[in-house]
A and B are shown apart, each in its own frame.
Chain A
Amino acid sequence: MAIKRPHALTDVELHYCPGCTHGIVHRLVAEVIDELGIEGKTVGVAPVGCSVFAYNYFNCDMIEAPHGRAPAVATGVKRARPECAVFTYQGDGDLAAIGTAETVHVGARGENITIIFINNAIYGMTGGQMAPTTIANQVTTTTPYGRSLQVNGNPVKVCEMLATLDGTAYAERVSVDCVKNVMAAKKAIKKAFTMQLEGKGLSIVEVLSTCPTNWGLAPNAAMQWLRDNLMPVFPLGVYKDVSKEESK
């Protein structure tokens, strides 16, 4: 297997902390854009959060959206330029807290865009606060005694939620904790973009990711923590795939 730097990534060095899985997902998205030959017609929308600088890292045209509004911004782009491949790259706070309405409604409308959703169960950029996907008893700086379900409620399961909407064409949860899962994640991302190119509707890939810095774990230990703690709450798998339903 020859692995080289994808053309769809710029030469800019990523600002992420050591071992942060954003870099892996950036590379996978860029590899998919390369393989589909769509860099010249792709427009990406960056979120607010750790991946806010994504506009510096992808070689396609990029827009930086207000916090949580990337799906609405992507809607504007896609409706103005239906020939473009449009994707958002969002974290859990951006997508599942402040931007929940925007997220739900691109699903309801069947907006023909692709969402890459990074779920690491914590707010990274602001220094480790509770996310909408923080799991029960998880310690963050704003749940210092662990997330209490009585006080803070339950984590949001995005793929499960979006799968209930008729406009969602494809929803899959993947992980990048090990080589096997990284390869599966890439396959899912490619499928999501392909379904957009086929005009199927909203495609979303939720990527279980780590935050070694704010979890207080070394990168490899963080991968293990993801497997032990996040995967049972957020099971990997395909939650919606209209291409499968069509072929039935």
Chain B
Amino acid sequence: MKKAVFDENRCKGCGLCVEACPRKLVELDKHRLNRKGYHPADCTDTERCNGCGLCAMMCPDTAITVED
């Protein structure tokens, strides 16, 4: 099953992926900062992610890949 994988350290917390996810599964983690100082995006429910890749298509930092 394909899943979106988030590279936390490349993320700049822009939130474009949050808007792109058709299932509204992506959120910025407001409780954490990555090494760049941003709230990183992550998938809140990997079970429900079907790896459609729309989040990755909107990511300006290639922080999201879709893998098996």
Contacts and interface: CB of A to CB of B under 8 A. Distances in A.
Asked if A and B bind, the verdict is: yes
Interface of A: 1-6, 9, 13-14, 16-24, 27, 178-179, 182-183, 212, 218-220, 223
Please report whether the interface of chain A is mostly helix, strand, loop or mixed according to DSSP.
loop
B51 to A, nearest CB: 7
A6 B38 CA distance: 24
Given A3-B56, A14-B60, A24-B57, 4 more contacts: A19-B15, A19-B16, A179-B20, A212-B14
Interface string B49-68: 00111101111111011111
From A9, A16, A18, A223, residue with most partner B Cβ within 10 Å: A18
Given A13-B10, A183-B57, A5 B19 contact: no
Given A2-B66, A2-B67, A27-B62, A19 B14 contact: yes
A179 B65 contact: no
B62 A5 contact: yes
B2 interface: yes
Contact of B68 (A2, A18, A19): A2
Nearest to A14: B61
A16 B60 contact: yes
A182 B57 contact: yes
B63 to A, nearest CB: 9
Contacts of B16: 19, 219-220, 223
Contacts of A178: 20, 58
A178 B21 CA distance: 11
Contact of B60 (A4, A6, A24): A24
Contact of B15 (A4, A182, A219): A219
Nearest to A17: B12
Contacts of B19: 220, 223
B65 A5 contact: yes
A178 B57 CA distance: 9
B60 A20 contact: yes
